[in-house]
Structure 1
Amino acid sequence: MSRPQGPHRPFFHFGNPFRMISSKGSGLPERLLSLLIAFEETLAERLRKLIPKDKDEVLSLSWMKLAMDSLCETHSGVKNLITELELPVSDWDEKWIDVYLDISVNLLDLCIAFSSQLTKLNQGHLLLQCVLRNLDSSSPKQFVRARSSLDSWRQHISAKNPRVESCHSILDNLVRSLDLPKVKNSAKGKVLMRALYSVKVVTVFICSVFAAALSGSAKSLLDLNVSDTLPWAAAFSALQANVNGELRNVFGSGRVTVSKELDAVDASIKKLYPMIQDGVEPVEVEQFKNSVIDLGKREEKLSEGLDLLTKAVDGFFKIVLTGRDALLCNLRATGTESVLGSNVEQLVGR
């Protein structure tokens, strides 16, 4: 069941920090302003593409893969923006670096948790394969084995994963990082902070949806407020309202399956289980065969979807890790690491 929703957590305690980069009177050079506009318009388009066409898409593995692919593109986009800004790491403020490194650790932890749960679900594939092999027979002994495998599958799927359960506290840490560090006398720094802010908001939202979907609970869902002056705000708000609303409806109705593909497999199993339990009457033979075939098709679709989603999460993990490593290498090369002191040293070791 979803938890009661409290007031939205405000990110801006001292007015709107984006006034400093409005299109009118921003003081930004035209080149920087065009880079920022292009980045934010691309982000808005990505968000619009993620808005589900119907409610059944929300808890589908295909939508989750699309969301993770979109997140990978967004993170790659901000890396390209940093390159185009030609803002060397030596010019980065200490607070920017600390925040970036801390966020990257949290994102890597989330990826590990998501991958852990997807691996767990994929392991259930082996149990279902045993079921299908044993059902390819009319022997009562094989039926007993199939029933045992189905019982094991249900226990395996419903078991809690401590790593996924820990996502809630990690997401809370990321929410606290959403406030923008103050930027003084640096046009490039202002553009960078605004771009990083948008990436952080979208990342926290998508990761909260993954945490909710993979845990089977709405506890990790977040409602993030963003300034309506941002070009991507309308698309983000529409996406967030659509996805979070449907997820809360789903979990509020008592459904706790991770995805519609898993739900489809579960429905086939519920149909087959009484036949396996009580035996198949002669008049039910054809229906039984069709149910086994149906389970096989649904299980295959689930397995394929989990494989593709796992690869997408692994891809995001690599993007975050390589970005973090690149920054640390630059810090060492420029000698900035020694200037920042113990904060970076602690983060490097994590």
Structure 2
Amino acid sequence: MSRPQEPHRQFFPFGNPFRSISPKGSNFSSKLWAILNDFERNLAERLRKLHPSGKDDVLSLSWMILAMELLCETHSDVKNLIKELELPVTDWNEKWIDVYLDISVKLLDVCNVVSSELSHLNQSNLMLRCITHNLDSADSKRLTRARASLDEWRLNISTTNSRIKNCCVILDSLVESLDLPKVKNSAKGKVLMHALYGVKVQTVFVCSVFASAFLGSPKLFDLKIAATYSWGQTFSSLQSDVNSEIRSIYTHGKFTPLKELEAIDQCVANLRQMIPENPEVEEVQPLKNVISELGGKAEKLSEGVHLLSKEVDNFFQIVLAGRDALLSNLRKV
């Protein structure tokens, strides 16, 4: 499943062009400063929570669930920030609207791709349940079928969903559009663009990790964040540690980078070796412990995929609601 690594991608090597709309030196009211500072403080805290405590955290379902939860919170914060700014849609620059709508439709596409991949994992898990059922039976024919099914499972799980490649194209376009429209005469507009930059950076990072988990090769970005962002150093540290570990995982050529799936694959490999080509009924008993272990790991994967699917759906609904609200307001203008 592993493929040659892509070269490290460096963005904004000469400094972030977004620096030009930094609020420093701008004529901001105390209320606007408070709104922006609250948003950035919350963003920095979420990035800190995502920092892995160890190597096993990276590309684990538990980390991915947390990442999606925190991403949902940030996108909800943007919705609240827009309300707090009391910036009616009639005052929105046409470019701001285009940026917001463009981001939202791309994120909805990403959600659909991730949901499709999680559905693929669920289908593979159902296959494992059938395999363990056959292995539990004292029947040599079923053992033979189970042996062949283990090979089928490995082939199925290593097949890359073509839609994931689509997700990579979307991520590339999101990175290319990180340089948001410049704002000259609107303090509220500057706060809005400042917040949208933060949410886009977090979104690109999280989605790139998800793509790396499912793609079969690392899909990572090395984003350079200007010092004018209070959360920049926290993000850079997080990005460096997570990207380094993912690249290390692929360097070692593992069957799959997803931790829970890798654990299942090890059990499958052990079972595959223990079942002879022409198994006898009495050979079932020595397999019991490994079968039980496989069942437990498959159940853990199933629970993790279920929880992650719920968070992805929640994210989809948050993005969709924000998009619908903007479009609704535009119709009233």
Q: TM-score interval w.r.t. the shorter chain?
A: over 0.9
Letter in 1 for 2:6: R
Q: Deviations over 1:151-180 (max 9, x none)?
A: 221121111211001222111110121102
Residue 143 of structure 1 is matched in structure 2 by 143
Where does structure 1 lack aligned partners over 5 or more consecutive residues?
Answer: 335-350
Q: CA deviation at 1:287?
A: 4.0
Query: TM-score, with normalisation over the residues of structure 1?
Result: 0.90
Distance in 2 (CA, whole Å) between partners of 1:83 and 1:313 is 24
Q: CA deviation at 1:86?
A: 0.5
Counterpart contact for 1:128–1:299, Cα < 8 Å: yes
Letter in 2 for 1:34: A
Query: TM-score, with normalisation over the residues of structure 2?
Result: 0.94
Where does structure 2 lack aligned partners over 5 or more consecutive residues?
Answer: none
Letter in 1 for 2:105: V
Residue 6 of structure 2 is matched in structure 1 by 3
Residue 183 of structure 2 is matched in structure 1 by 183
Residue 273 of structure 1 is matched in structure 2 by 272
Letter in 2 for 1:257: T
Distance in 2 (CA, whole Å) between partners of 1:317 and 1:72 is 9
Residue 262 of structure 1 is matched in structure 2 by 261
Letter in 1 for 2:11: H
Secondary structure at the counterpart of residue 253 of structure 2:
coil
Q: Deviations over 1:199-256 (max 9, x none)?
A: 11111111111111111211x2111111022110111001100111100000111114
Q: CA deviation at 1:26?
A: 3.2
Q: CA deviation at 1:9?
A: 4.0
Residue 110 of structure 2 is matched in structure 1 by 110
Distance in 1 (CA, whole Å) between partners of 2:38 and 2:182 is 23
Counterpart contact for 2:43–2:231, Cα < 8 Å: yes
Q: Which runs of 4+ in 1 moved over 6 A?
A: none
Q: Which has the higher contact order (CA 8 A, sep 6+)?
A: 2
Residue 170 of structure 1 is matched in structure 2 by 170
Residue 125 of structure 1 is matched in structure 2 by 125
Letter in 2 for 1:331: L
Secondary structure at the counterpart of residue 16 of structure 1:
helix
For residues 181-330 of structure 1, the aligned pairs below 5 Å read: 181-218=181-218, 220-278=219-277, 279=279, 287-330=286-329
The share of aligned pairs that are identical, in percent, is: 56
Q: CA deviation at 1:125?
A: 1.3
Residue 344 of structure 1 is matched in structure 2 by none
Secondary structure at the counterpart of residue 308 of structure 2:
helix
Letter in 2 for 1:248: R
Number of residue pairs matched by the alignment: 329
Change (3 A) 1:280 1:69: farther
Q: Deviations over 1:165-196 (max 9, x none)?
A: 12221111101211021112111111111011
Greater Cα shift, 220-229 or 9-18: 9-18
Q: Deviations over 1:79-127 (max 9, x none)?
A: 0011111101110000000111111111111111111111011101111
Q: Deviations over 1:2-52 (max 9, x none)?
A: 222254345967583244x12xx4320001101110110010000000000
Letter in 2 for 1:202: Q
